[in-house]
Amino acid sequence: MNKLLLPLALLALTGCSLNKTASRVTSGVVDAGLPAVFSQSDPQYVKEALPANLQLMEILLASDPRNKGMLVNAAQGFCGYGFMFLEEDQPERASFFYLKGQAYAERALKGATVETAKKKDAHPLFWHTFCKALYMNINRDNPEAIAEIPTLEPAALKLLELDPGYYYNAAQDILGAYHAIRPRMLGGSPEKAAEHFELALKGHGADFHLSRYLYAKMAAVAAQDQELFERLLNEIISAELKDGDTRLANEVAKLKAQKLLEKKDELF
């Protein structure tokens, strides 16, 4: 190599390495700081602040595109933001966020499939499947989305094998959504959906009210069980919330439950 080009090449490589190192250090800070976001009691504050953090994750991933931890955080961030803050009023934008979350989770899987996934793949597999389920639920008029419904069950069953309690038993929420979304004539069962949502609310999932909200919105509506619908939503609305990692999700669940209860006459 030309003697003049060699220092330039080394400098470029060093710069690339420094960018990746800085990215990994910053991604560690982001990862450690996420519990502080989830512990917030002011949803509006998070709604306004979180997009900048999502953009930061994307900037970091541009320098370190194979950073699995950051890919999983980005998947959770885009999926969670769409569900918590966009789905009711901006479903098209929420759909875009779900697809972005799903794409980041797929990158984190690094080629692993439902059949080949191991325990180390459980978290990206969960967010890939959860984002997909949320996308399907608000795009039931899209044949391509509906055609993907059968993929939810094997993925959720695999998650129950790999890490059953992850994210407050939310693999059970996916199975509940699967049985609620499917029409009865194609094997759907609101009763089976209710069984899985009940399992999601066991143990450490008992106080995670977004599961209770999904139970009401999906299984109770699919079964046309107005009494169950009202009971679940009123439990959320009347719950005394505790500080901790579920605080933000539960504050959002309260707001969403109140809005859904107001639509009762349209749903029953």
- Which range, of 82-86, 119-123, 125-129, 146-150, averages the lowest pLDDT? 146-150
pLDDT of 189: 95
Q: Is the pTM of this model over 0.85?
A: yes
- Region of poorest pLDDT, from 11-15, 71-75, 179-183, 263-267: 11-15
Please state, as a whole number, how many other Cβ atoms lie within 10 Å of the Cβ of residue 25.
10
At which of 108, 127, 146 does a domain end?
A: 127
Q: Is the pLDDT of residue 26 over 90?
A: no
Q: In this structure, is residue 133 part of a structural domain?
A: no
Q: How many domains does the chain have?
A: 2
Using alpha carbons only, give the angle 48, 54, 58 rounded to the nearest 5 degrees: 150
Tally of CB atoms within 10 A around 199: 19
> Which two three-digit tokens encode residue 49?
């602040």
Same domain? For 19 and 105 the reply is yes
Is 154 part of any domain? no
- Tell me the longest C-alpha to C-alpha distance in the chain: 80
* Residue 145 within a domain: no
Q: What is the mean pLDDT of residues 49-65?
A: 92
- Whether 34 shows a pLDDT value over 70: the answer reads no
Q: Can you give the chain as a three-state secondary structure string?
A: CCCCHHHHHHHHHHHHHHHHHHHHHHHHHHHHHHHHHHCCCCHHHHHHHHHHHHHHHHHHHHHCCCCHHHHHHHHHHHHHHHHHHHCCCCHHHHHHHHHHHHHHHHHHHCCCCCCCCCHHHHHHHHHHHHHHHHHHHCCCCCHHHHHCHHHHHHHHHHHHHHCCCHHHHHHHHHHHHHHHHCCHHHCCCHHHHHHHHHHHCCHHHCCCHHHHHHHHHHHHHHCCCHHHHHHHHHHHHHCCCCCCCCHHHHHHHHHHHHHHHHCHHHHC
Residue 99 has a pLDDT of 98
Q: Does residue 139 lie in a domain region? A: no
Please tell me whether residues 120 and 199 are part of one structural domain.
no
Judge if 113 and 26 occupy the same domain.
yes
Radius of gyration of the chain, Cα coordinates, nearest whole angstrom: 20
* Top-ranked range on mean pLDDT: pick from 14-23, 48-57, 123-132: 123-132
**pLDDT at residue number 183:** 84
Q: Is 79 exposed, middle or buried (0-12, 13-18, 19+ CB in 10 A)?
A: buried
Say if 254 falls within a structural domain: yes
pLDDT on residue 206: 96
Among candidate residues 193, 191, 120, the one with its CA nearest the CA of residue 152:
193
Question: Are 25 and 113 part of one and the same domain?
Answer: yes
Q: Mark whether 179 and 111 lie in a shared domain.
A: no
Region of poorest pLDDT, from 8-22, 72-86, 125-139, 140-154: 8-22
- Residue 84: pLDDT band (50, 70, 90) is very high
Query: Do 99 and 177 lie in a common domain?
Result: no
Distance in angstroms (rounded) separating the CA atoms of residues 183 and 177: 12
Domain boundary among 127, 156, 181: 127
> In this structure, is residue 265 part of a structural domain?
yes
Asked if the structure places residue 132 within a domain, the reply is no
Is residue 151 within 8 Å of 131, Cβ to Cβ?
no
Domain residues for 50?
13-127
Residue 250 in contact with residue 239, Cβ under 8 Å?
A: yes
- Domain annotation covers residue 41: yes
Shared domain for 107 and 61, answered yes or no, is: yes
Distances (CA, A) of 153 to 17, 162, 179: 42, 14, 9
Q: Are residues 122 and 22 in the same domain?
A: yes
Same-domain pairing of 41 and 114: yes
